[in-house]
Amino acid sequence: MNKTLVDNFDIIGIHFLPDMMYDYDTFWSIRIIQRKKENPDLGKNSKLVRSYQVQSREDLQNLKPHILKHCIDNNARAYINLNPKSWRQAAYQELKAIADIIAEERFGDLPKVLDKTIDSGAKMKLQESWMKSWVVDVDTKDREEIDLVKDLIQGIFQSEKSSIKAELPTVNGVHIISSPFDCKRFSDDYKLLRPCNETPEVKKDQPTLLFYQDPLTAF
């Protein structure tokens, strides 16, 4: 029987969110998404079930029962973008988007405005590159391969300070969360050691898996 349960609430809360809200502008975006891969009758590749925004570890834990229920009821996955976003930037972009809708009389697009501006226009202007979080998608649970990818990333920095922020389980492998690095060098170094393998994908501003429970898995 295929059983899969991925719960990254604790590790994400500890490593990426403040204990309590520390300002009114900063937030993190969560999306609950159905995928055609797990729902063959969906009719399209993916569907947004629900979105949330959290400003602290406390928010995340308070929302956990609701997120789990939506995921389990809809056979959906919860994702979180680990790069903080700005309500100020979201508001500016939302006003612009609404003005465009009014000018073009596309009033049916109004319900989607906030989600779209949060995804595309609410990026926090992080002053230091180390504050940003990249997701390196390693599509295997083989420990040797995972450690190789982490060593290659760390080797680029040539520093005792680790650039690896966390390792998060996914359904088929892991997401390595890292500070930004030289992608070309990473790809070249990886190909030297694994010429027949596809280089793990580096996602510069994409979400990571927060929660997924296979329907056959019981708590």
Domain 133-203 has CATH 1.20.58: no
Segment (H or E) for 174: strand 174-178
Q: What is the pLDDT of residues 151-192, one digit of tens each?
A: 999 999 876 567 899 999 999 999 999 999 999 999 999 999
The pLDDT value recorded for residue 66 is 97
Q: What is the mean pLDDT of residues 119-138?
A: 74
CB 1 within 8 A of CB 218: no
Q: What is the pLDDT of residues 112-128, one digit of tens each?
A: 777 777 777 667 665 45
User: 3-class secondary structure for 48-111?
Assistant: EEEEEEECCHHHHHHHHHHHHHHHHHHCCEEEECCCCEEHHHHHHHHHHHHHHHHHHCCHHHHH
pLDDT at 147 over 60: yes
Q: What is the pLDDT of residues 10-60, one digit of tens each?
A: 999 999 999 887 788 899 999 999 999 999 999 899 999 999 999 999 999
CB 31 within 8 A of CB 79: yes
For the chain, the structural domain boundaries read 5-127, 133-203
CB 99 within 8 A of CB 181: no
The pLDDT value recorded for residue 89 is 85
Question: Considering only CA atoms, which of 99, 132, 134 is closest in space to residue 113?
Answer: 99
